[in-house]
Amino acid sequence: MAGPKNPPFLNGVPELLVLQCLRERPMYGYELVQAIRAATGEHVVLAEGVVYPVLHMLEREGALSTERQTVNGRSRIYYALTEQGGTRLADLADTWRQLTTVIAGVLGEPRHA
Amino acid sequence: MAGPKNPPFLNGVPELLVLQCLRERPMYGYELVQAIRAATGEHVVLAEGVVYPVLHMLEREGALSTERQTVNGRSRIYYALTEQGGTRLADLADTWRQLTTVIAGVLGEPRHA
DNA sequence: CCGTATACCTAGCTGTGCTAGGTATGGCAA
DNA sequence: TTGCCATACCTAGCACAGCTAGGTATACGG
């Protein structure tokens, strides 16, 4: 119940992290959940209920392609970045960088001009 | 109609910017809207419909104190950071910096280990 | 044989941010 | 004087993202 709870302002961040992780290599959902957890050093922990819907949405919009595989009798759905997904990632990352830079400026600016 | 539209992932950012601006000096709502617009170089443009509710919420929770003033027959409500508000800003800014640092790491990490 | 890990999924709540309005005064221009 | 714009406040209600909290099914170890 009393989980660590993610910070309350990560709008679009799940999508960003999913795309970025898939840029490295194709992965399946369950794997992604842990990859994100690991990549952010536990700072961002996305439950499956967050990741799967994002995956479905990105596939529906053509950013990801899927391939079913069965490993050890277990069915996995591997998601891979499409070309369109690459573009989407680039755009998203760009916007993110811009935003954080701007806010860092506001936060850092010590006093009035 | 066809406004520039803010990036879709600024959860909690309005609150952060409001608190930060008020750290410099007390301001009234209408002033804040323009202050934020200016401080972010038009990158973040919060409508009044965003700012006022945040202001009310922060006052309700004791992060801001208010003082009515009439200037040129116009009534203004100045909001000032309380001590509690200062703490809240510090915490929020900290969380924000942590999050952005972590994500920058994931984004920047060029290839596998 | 049962619990845990793996692996997938969805319904529904909540809260934030935004849209799109509404009120009222002051000042300027036509 | 009659608009209209800027100032200055406000709210109702929509949209959507993310989270909670479930559910299904198989493999594997004790």
| Contact assessment for residue A51 and residue A71, using Cβ atoms and an 8 Å cutoff | no
Collapse the DSSP code of A54 into the 3-class scheme (helix H, G, I; strand E, B; otherwise coil) and give the result.
helix
Whether A112 is in a domain gets the answer no
What percentage of chain B has pLDDT greater than the value 90?
67
A40 inside domain: yes
Helical packing angle, B13-24 and B48-60, nearest 10°: 70
Structure tokens at B54: 């945040």
Cβ neighbours for A6, distance < 8 A, ≥ 6 positions apart? A44, A45, A46
Span B31-81, pLDDT tens digits: 999 999 999 988 888 999 999 999 999 999 999 999 999 988 889 999 999
Residue B110 lies in a domain: no
- Which residues on chain B are in Cβ contact (under 8 Å) with A41? 102
Q: Would you state the pLDDT for residue A109?
A: 63
Q: What is the pLDDT of residues A11-37, one digit of tens each?
A: 689 999 999 999 999 999 999 999 999
Range of the domain at B57: 13-101
| Widest distance between CA atoms in chain A | 65
Across-strand partners of A44? none
In this prediction, residue B11 carries a pLDDT of: 63
Classify residue A2: in a domain, yes or no.
Answer: no
Q: Tokens in use for A45?
A: 């922990």
CATH of the domain at B74: 1.10.10.10
Tally of structural domains, chain B:
1
What is the distance between the alpha carbons of residues B31 and B54, in angstroms, rounded to a whole number? 14
* Residue B31 forms part of a structural domain: yes
The answer to whether B3 touches B50, Cβ cutoff 8 Å, is no
Q: What is the pLDDT of residue B7?
A: 47
Evaluate whether residue B49 is within a structural domain: yes
Mean per-residue pLDDT for B84-89?
94
Cβ <8 Å between B40 and A106: yes
Residue A8 located in a structural domain: no
Residue A18 lies in a domain: yes
Residue with tokens 């959902």: A29
CB contact under 8 A, A9 and B7: no
Q: Which residue has the tokens 């200037």?
A: B71
Q: Report if CB A61 to strand D is under 7 Å.
A: no
For B15, name the nearest residue in chain A, comparing CA atoms only.
Answer: A9
